[in-house]
Amino acid sequence: MIDNKDYVLTIDGLKTYFEVDHSVVKAVDDVSLKIERGKTLAIVGESGCGKSVTAYSILKLIQKPGKIIGGKIVLYPSNGKAINISELNERSELLYHVRGGYISMIFQEPMTALSPVHTIGNQICEAVLLHSKTKISRKCAEEMAVEMLNKAGMPNSQARIRQYPHEISGGMRQRAVIAMAMITNPELLIADEPTTALDVTIQAQIIELMKKLQNEYRTAIMLITHDFGVVAQTADEVAVMYLGNIVEQASVREIIKNPMHPYTIALLGSLPGIGRIGKRLAPVRGSVPDPLRRPQGCTFHPRCEYAEKGLCDVGLIPGLEEVINGHKVACRRVKEIRKNGK
């Protein structure tokens, strides 16, 4: 039994597949996650590992030829009954309220997330008018939009609401997107690579803004990224994803200080650091396999320096097992790797 005081969303055995050329791409394959209220869960991994598909599955935004074929997604509102999102019809009025109301999303590229033919203010006001629990006037919605833009650090927000997306910078557009996502006071904010298109200075400002708004509204955040620097600054817990599966999950401190899965070890080993000045970076060997030709056994074994023939390349994908308290790993050689100190 889940205590809705602790968790805002649970995912159990999610499977999202795409039928391509009479074959099946297992974009998300048996993923289970829990997102704690007021906390940040980061999902990390290379491009093509299924991070964004997981996020879109939560909101049932998967388009053909994709389809959610299994699993359970349950939302626990702070004041209300649990909502089994996985059972909602695509045209359900409740699903309509979940999207943008209970759960908001910050998309990867702010220029494509905003309508080019509507003003910033018009788009933020629309979110308020559509998802407000009480009937409010257009003028009141505009006042709320200005207030939220101020909280998002938008300078001269009274004038900005009259501007179109192309008239402001990338950093300002991302602030507008965050304001639009947060103005409905959602239970969960899904941030899909929210700092990718921004320079490092603006990235730091956006990260700080998200943390500030999270503390103010006690919003849970699901952060999708490939940047461990962003993870270290924002996340409470980390799930490492590879080829549609969660391969390691633990607190952010535990993951960074004590990675156990070879993929996580390789990802962290490829990062620059103060102690590596003048040394060559060690990239992760190889590339993500063709999803139509998934390797047998552990899907990471063709790129893994710890792989053992006859053990790692046979059978089913290894499942997540708790190695130490709260630290789960999906690797058949995790004991040997730990014993040898990686």
Q: Which residue has the higher pLDDT, 342 or 322?
A: 322
Q: Which residue has the higher pLDDT, 79 or 13?
A: 13
Q: What is each CA distance from 19 to 23, 28, 34, 55, 273, in whole angstroms?
A: 6, 13, 28, 19, 42
Can you list the domains of the chain with their CATH numbers? Answer: 7-235 (3.40.50.300), 262-339 (no CATH)
Q: What pLDDT was estimated at residue 278?
A: 67
Tens-digit pLDDT profile for residues 100-144: 889 999 887 777 788 999 999 999 999 888 887 678 888 999 999
CB 247 within 8 A of CB 241: yes
Q: What share of the chain is helix, strand, coil (3-state, %, to 5)?
A: 35, 25, 40
Amino acid at 82: A
Tokens standing for 90? 């695509």
Max Cα–Cα distance, the chain, nearest Å:
68
99: which DSSP letter?
B
Q: What pLDDT was estimated at residue 300?
A: 95
Neighbour count for residue 111 (Cβ, 10 Å): 14
Q: What pLDDT was estimated at residue 214?
A: 87
Tokens standing for 278? 């003048």
Q: Give the range among 1-15, 64-78, 116-130 with minimum mean pLDDT.
A: 1-15
Tens-digit pLDDT profile for residues 32-58: 999 999 999 999 998 889 999 999 999
Q: What pLDDT was estimated at residue 200?
A: 74
